Structure 1
């Protein structure tokens, strides 16, 4: 049956449901033209295409799997994957609440802010759609163009999560920052994950070198994002330099590696007192790992320390503490020391069922008399999670999870919250 690209587009528009119902059949649109395309299921795609799809998948637990359906050229050298998942969670807080659909101990309210001790929520907004174009060329090697979005925009509208091109080790676009270790993040239903982990997305130009056996070395220039506690005399606006990151990772098995990373940043703020713009240096150091003890046991861990990196740590990113006023220097700001870490363990009960548990801590330190006025400012948060996941089929996953969080302020007052999560997720 001969066709044109216009008829292919029509086929995709009106024929998707019948094709999905017969996903295991290889659907070919025959064409004598060399530039024609085929619509095939994942298991019928070429080995090279599937290798590139798998090798370039983002390693975070909540990221979509390889798509079920592909558009390929007749030679199988280029493919466009269309996929994602529908994800819904039910959440019940008791004995204290977190004022967010994600579980951040920093957002446990003070008694003066809320007297509610129980809360029920449902959240479908992390459902994700993506397009992924992959191929292999003589001059660019393996290349990837990837866009993804979920429904966490205002009014549950689509919000961009990833949009980048990757080739010859370079990545240009919007994606997870390089002061992160996606593969070392433990599995959670909670979409935010451990409060002491590094987590952020940014526009970047990065390069990853993997020409040394078992090693990956990376550098990047990233779009800066500076959030601070401002006053009528202190403001944060235009930034004058990118953030610079570097990393080194050693792999010794498929699911085992150790990684170190660093970030260096210059944060600009304006002072009305001195009628001048200043820059304050910030830095961060990270060590992370995940490794298999046995086929059934997997370890996760990460340690972050630095100054002025609150924007990049899960809990502290809610508090605007990259820069804070310096009580001992009127009209000046400072970058406080901060710490975040977690340790987790996963046990595979069967091929399709596993349990895991993680403890995490985030800590903000005081310097130069901070905080000088309000002792209710955040000092540390603790995060404990235990969960079970069951992969019912290759595409259907369900799970249950318990979370407990503590927030302690500089006056040593501690308040806590508990949450139960239930998950149903179907991938396509």
Structure 2
């Protein structure tokens, strides 16, 4: 019995001791886990603090660099003015006495890569690029650009240029820029020439001896403060959200126009910019007398455009609109006028800002709608300069029987991929549709819709030169009344651009 009593007392005490031991082990284990978590938390906090410090350092370094650049530019201007005064006080050399004047050494200007004109505080930069393309048109020669709107139905005229090979250097460009300080800020000018001028007989009708081209003005504008005057890209179009293509036309229907204008730009802040412009008007029409793309002699008012742009490291967004007064005067002097407009929305996303795995890749596009007309040149298809259709009969005095606005809807989408820092590709599609007037006669020059697909690969052999190859496929949809089914065309480009 005494043994039984001892066992009765010992077993509960042993069980309690074991329970205490297990609990202590659990406490020790939890304590170890808590210390590990605390250590990890401290590591994360330290890493975040280091990242914040690095970001602050980078912002400070960028601000310091910008401040230093502004200070250096101011010092350059101050130094050049002082040098000019000092050199003018020096006795003239024998050459100067005889009329060879050089009152100031050539020095660095405020524009990147520029120099100061001796004797002035105007900085001049001379640049541009040389371009050469080898073009093979498998289906039909559509010209030096892939002008899919010029595609013909199956015919001897189309077969005559099938399998055509050409070289083209028309888009080579010379650019001269200047900047002069003033109390309104820098007064700048921009003048550019290329060789895409008019050639009698067509784009490829150069002199056989030397393949001469005609020069044309691409840009000729000046700025003073927020005001810009002259010829430059329309305020309405969206250059920032345009794919990189070797073909000068780009995707089908892409709005692209240079025009004389007066523009006011308001940089709301570093991310938001508003601009307004009064642009040179041009009304194009086609009629029932088989006249296509005729410029109207009647322009009641300028085209008024407005553009909003938002830009940050991730995305660029543009919204733009234009207001136009489209007019036409018939053979009796009677005028018809239509107040109309158009709009564009475009965007580009820098995918590397979302995830570093994308590197410098970007994706973007545009959508447009309305009576765009001349802002989609006919080089891009669909005879869209003919924004107005006129019913003036087919015989007798050309009296206006009716008119109709021919609006457009279209889009372009693209993706640019960087295989490596010096190798990149762009894939782009384009679509444009025009609502033609039902009373227009059947004409194979009139396109209801145009479509293109292009893909290229470009190699930056050296920082100033790009070499690449591009394939283009396009389709033109004809008026239903012609009875012609949609037709395709192909083109292959190989070439390069050398910047200077």
Q: TM exceeds 0.5? A: yes
Q: Distance in 2 between the 1:212 and 1:70 partners?
A: 28
Give the drift of 1:330. 5.1
- Partner SS, residue 158 of structure 2: coil
Corresponding residue of 1:90 = 134
Corresponding residue of 2:318 = 259
Q: Distance in 2 between the 1:37 and 1:390 partners?
A: 42
Higher relative helix content: 2
Matches within 5 A, 1:374-389: 374=443, 377-389=446-458
TM-score in terms of structure 1 length: 0.80
Give the drift of 1:331. 2.6
Corresponding residue of 1:119 = 164
Corresponding residue of 2:189 = 145
Assess, with a 3 A threshold, how the Cα gap between structure 1 residues 280 and 175 changes in structure 2: closer, same or farther: same
Corresponding residue of 1:33 = 87
Q: Distance in 2 between the 1:107 and 1:379 partners?
A: 12
Tell me, yes or no, if the aligned pair for 1:49 and 1:78 is still in contact at 8 Å.
no
Unaligned runs of 5+ in 2: 1-82, 89-101, 200-212, 353-358, 394-398
Matches within 5 A, 1:218-297: 218-230=275-287, 236-253=296-313, 256-272=315-331, 275-294=333-352, 295-297=359-361
Q: Distance in 2 between the 1:76 and 1:358 partners?
A: 47
Corresponding residue of 1:351 = 421
- Partner SS, residue 115 of structure 1: helix
Assess, with a 3 A threshold, how the Cα gap between structure 1 residues 347 and 135 changes in structure 2: closer, same or farther: farther
Give the drift of 1:125. 1.1
Matches within 5 A, 1:177-196: 177-196=234-253
Tell me, yes or no, if the aligned pair for 2:142 and 2:148 is still in contact at 8 Å.
no
- Partner SS, residue 145 of structure 1: strand
Matches within 5 A, 1:300-339: 300-307=364-371, 309-314=372-377, 315-316=380-381, 318-326=383-391, 331-339=401-409
Corresponding residue of 1:9 = none
Q: Distance in 1 between the 2:288 and 2:445 partners?
A: 18
Give the drift of 1:136. 3.5
Is 1:132 the counterpart of 2:177 in the alignment? yes
Q: Distance in 2 between the 1:237 and 1:285 partners?
A: 25
Q: Distance in 1 between the 2:421 and 2:444 partners?
A: 50
Tell me, yes or no, if the aligned pair for 1:204 and 1:221 is still in contact at 8 Å.
yes
Measured on the aligned residues, the alpha-carbon RMSD in Å equals: 2.7
Corresponding residue of 1:208 = 265
From 98, 106, 111, give the equivalent of 1:49. 111
Unaligned runs of 5+ in 1: 1-29, 51-68
From 55, 70, 73, give the equivalent of 2:114. 70
Q: Distance in 1 between the 2:181 and 2:452 partners?
A: 43
Higher CA-based Rg: 2
Assess, with a 3 A threshold, how the Cα gap between structure 1 residues 98 and 361 changes in structure 2: closer, same or farther: farther
Assess, with a 3 A threshold, how the Cα gap between structure 1 residues 320 and 231 changes in structure 2: closer, same or farther: farther
Q: Distance in 2 between the 1:233 and 1:299 partners?
A: 42
Q: Distance in 1 between the 2:165 and 2:114 partners?
A: 39
Q: Distance in 2 between the 1:233 and 1:290 partners?
A: 41
Is 1:298 the counterpart of 2:358 in the alignment? no
- Partner SS, residue 87 of structure 2: coil
Bigger shift: residues 111-120 or 396-405: 111-120
Is 1:395 the counterpart of 2:468 in the alignment? no
Assess, with a 3 A threshold, how the Cα gap between structure 1 residues 313 and 320 changes in structure 2: closer, same or farther: closer
Give the drift of 1:355. 0.7
Corresponding residue of 1:427 = 499
Assess, with a 3 A threshold, how the Cα gap between structure 1 residues 247 and 278 changes in structure 2: closer, same or farther: same
Corresponding residue of 2:478 = 409
Q: Distance in 2 between the 1:127 and 1:109 partners?
A: 29
Tell me, yes or no, if the aligned pair for 1:271 and 1:332 is still in contact at 8 Å.
no
Q: Distance in 2 between the 1:345 and 1:142 partners?
A: 37
Give the drift of 1:140. 2.1
- Partner SS, residue 392 of structure 1: strand
- Partner SS, residue 141 of structure 1: coil
Tell me, yes or no, if the aligned pair for 2:458 and 2:467 is still in contact at 8 Å.
yes
TM-score in terms of structure 2 length: 0.69
